[in-house]
């Protein structure tokens, strides 16, 4: 006779394009999980959306989500990362982090998770091939480079561009904005290069992973090319992501979180 395990409670911090997609999928049903709570800076804005769910979750302040959930999905502005993650990992719970770039400024959260039996999970997001990079990192990786090209709408407001007064709206040809480490890229393009930081964490770290960022008025998709040279393999991969409602984020980002949630409770798990 089989016994049904209790479902784990999942909270979502942030109800933008990513948060809403994940909420819909949890509401439709993912084995072993239930959507228990959400937090938003403007909950009244999402009243109709939440009412459309078959089992509407509690709406709570971000700092209280830990009381109603075992897992939190961080899909909020990166400045809120410590407020969202710390209450979970300090109690041995799990935080799924999309603002990977903010982890570099909040490394104490990793130590806190380790000390208390908590877990911080960075999903694949808008990239491809993190399994291969993670496998290569078990040996020796010599170099990792990522070339990112984004439409103009996906780069507006990036600190690197604003601080230098670059007028990307007048571009009629691709322009390389930046080349440097993933750590530097995360500071200059915090809403655009969480993928770069995720890549660096999977491989050789944020100070050895090299990033190029291009503004490209000729494309409509967020494009990333990864080039890896290691003692076990040399490989390159390219992905072209269709933007979500938020032009800075690809549709596949939310789907990667959904896939991660399904994998956590699946009887068959494929991939590293």
Predicted pLDDT of residue 1: 44
Tokens of 45: 């804005």
The percent of the chain in helix, strand and coil, each rounded to the nearest 5, is 40, 25, 35
What is the mean predicted confidence (pLDDT) over 109-125?
95
First to last CA, the chain: 31
pLDDT per position as a tens digit, 16-41? 989 999 999 999 999 999 999 999 98
pLDDT at 2 over 70: no
Give the Cα separation of 29 and 201 in Å (integer).
31
Above pLDDT 90, what percent of the chain? 77
Asked if 119 is an active-site residue, the reply is no
What is the mean predicted confidence (pLDDT) over 133-145?
97
pTM of the model: 0.90
pLDDT at 126 over 90: no
pLDDT per position as a tens digit, 39-84? 998 988 999 999 999 999 999 999 999 999 999 999 999 899 999 9
Pick the catalytic residue: 46, 119, 142, 224?
Answer: 224
Question: Could you tell me the CATH superfamily of domain 8-126+252-264?
Answer: NAD(P)-binding Rossmann-like Domain (3.40.50.720)
pLDDT at 249 over 90: no
Predicted pLDDT of residue 90: 98
pLDDT per position as a tens digit, 144-182? 999 999 999 989 999 999 999 999 999 999 999 999 999
Give the Cα separation of 197 and 182 in Å (integer).
6
pLDDT at 104 over 60: yes
Domain 130-248 has CATH 3.40.50.300: no
SS3 category, 196: helix
**List of long-range contacts for 110-119, beta carbons under 8 Å, 24+ apart:** 112/86, 113/89, 116/89, 116/90, 116/91, 116/92, 117/92, 118/88, 118/89, 118/90, 118/91, 118/92, 118/93, 118/94, 119/89, 119/93, 119/94, 119/95
- Domain definitions of the chain by residue range: 8-126+252-264, 130-248
């Amino acid at each position: 006779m089989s016994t049904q395990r209790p479902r784990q409670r999942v909270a979502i911090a942030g109800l933008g394009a990513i948060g809403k997609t994940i909420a819909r999928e949890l509401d439709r049903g993912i084995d072993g999980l239930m959507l228990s709570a959400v937090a938003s800076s403007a909950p009244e804005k999402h009243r109709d959306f939440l009412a459309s769910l078959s089992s509407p979750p509690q709406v709570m302040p971000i700092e209280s989500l830990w009381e109603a959930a075992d897992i939190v999905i961080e899909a909020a502005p990166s400045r809120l990362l410590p407020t969202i993650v710390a209450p979970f990992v300090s109690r041995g719970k799990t935080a799924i982090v999309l603002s990977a770039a903010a982890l570099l400024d909040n490394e104490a959260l990793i130590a806190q998770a380790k000390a208390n039996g908590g877990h911080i999970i960075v999903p694949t997001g808008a990239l491809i091939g993190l399994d291969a990079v993670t496998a290569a990192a078990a040996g020796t990786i010599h170099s990792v480079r990522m070339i990112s090209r984004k439409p103009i709408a996906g780069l507006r407001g990036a600190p690197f561009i604003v601080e230098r007064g670059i007028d990307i709206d007048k571009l009629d040809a691709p322009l390389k904005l930046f080349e440097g480490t993933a750590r530097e890229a995360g500071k200059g393009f915090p809403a655009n290069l969480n993928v770069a930081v995720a890549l660096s964490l999977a491989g050789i770290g944020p100070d050895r992973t090299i990033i190029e960022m291009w503004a490209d008025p000729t494309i409509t998709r967020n494009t990333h090319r990864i080039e890896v040279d290691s003692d076990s393999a040399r490989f390159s991969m390219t992905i072209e992501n269709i933007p979500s409602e938020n032009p800075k984020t690809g549709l596949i980002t939310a789907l990667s979180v959904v896939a991660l949630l399904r994998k956590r409770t699946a009887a068959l798990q494929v991939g590293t």
